[in-house]
Structure 1
């Protein structure tokens, strides 16, 4: 799918999020990357082979107001 030089990392590589966004839909909360991965605002994703990856957003420490 990628025609860039150097080519974007493929969807099966750990750095696959570095691929170029080819279609952004912020109003719907998702973007399509050049390598075929769909990434969502909640950090979940759908890989080109149909596998899904759940949200993996790092959470900071919770604080309780006194």
Structure 2
């Protein structure tokens, strides 16, 4: 059975872990922000950019979004 810390880790890896575990230990609460999309749904996104190993100046990166669930 998962505890809360393991569940949060899995969610971070799923939505924001583009480089696996490499940058996860450096994340802070200030690296995330919340906003709404065009449909009015709330989501969390990474407000700070992280450099990737092979694409350090890549302008075409996709941003992960973790949407709020109802209930």
Q: Which has the higher contact order (CA 8 A, sep 6+)?
A: 2
Could you say which structure has the higher strand fraction? Answer: 1
Which TM class, normalised by the smaller chain length? under 0.3
Normalised by the size of structure 1, how large is the TM-score? 0.25
Larger Rg, first or second structure (1 or 2)? 1
Could you say which structure has the higher helix fraction? Answer: 2
